[in-house]
Amino acid sequence: MLADHEKSEIKNSNALSSIENRKTYELHFDEVTDGKIRVFCEVFDLELNNFIVNTVKDDLYVIGANIHQNDYDTIGKYYDVSKLVGVQPRSVPHKEPEKNVIVEAEFPLLISGAIECLCDKIPLTAEEYIVDLVNEEICILIDNIKDRCYDFLGKYKDFSKIEKTINRFYEEDPL
């Protein structure tokens, strides 16, 4: 039987190993986007890091599936093709808000490896890709909420226990 201090050493070793198997990215968001993300996480009781990691992981799955089907639209959007397009937009150039809020996000090495591979092929750094994706996703999520569509929740929360409990209820007490 292990002594308490040995259990503590093993637990600390596992925690250290878990940290060593992660890569941290320093992400720069503007204050408005950061506020939206934080309120979203608060409302749905999500940890900020998990929100960012799950958003990126889901996008990487989509990119992988698209590449498998020879569909490169999800990657093509990261290239600046404005030089190739005949008609340039006539709108007033808009100034990007300052990205002065720094968020550190830790990714498992497998996900960060996929991010790095992707960013070798697109003209963005890993941090730029993650920030761009999260900025886009939070706008989409807020629009979905306005439309009372919450299908996205399964990406961020685990409802399997609820589902199993309800299924067990129906099995034991059918209507």
Per-residue tokens: 173? 């007490």
What is the Cα–Cα distance from 54 to 48, expressed in whole angstroms? 10
Asked if residue 4 is part of any domain, the answer here is no
Q: Are 62 and 164 in contact (CB under 8 A)?
A: no
Tell me if 56 sits within 8 A of 115, measured CB to CB. Answer: yes
Residue 50 lies in a domain: yes
Residue type, 58: D
At residue 53, what is the residue type?
Answer: V
- Does the residue 5 lie in any domain? no
15 in a structural domain:
no
Over residues 48-94, the pLDDT tens digits come to 999 999 999 999 998 988 888 888 888 888 887 777 765 455 555 55
pLDDT tens-digit map of 158-169: 888 988 888 887
Above 50 in pLDDT, residue 8?
A: no
121 within some domain: yes
Domain that holds residue 143: 20-77+97-172
Structural domain count of the chain: 1
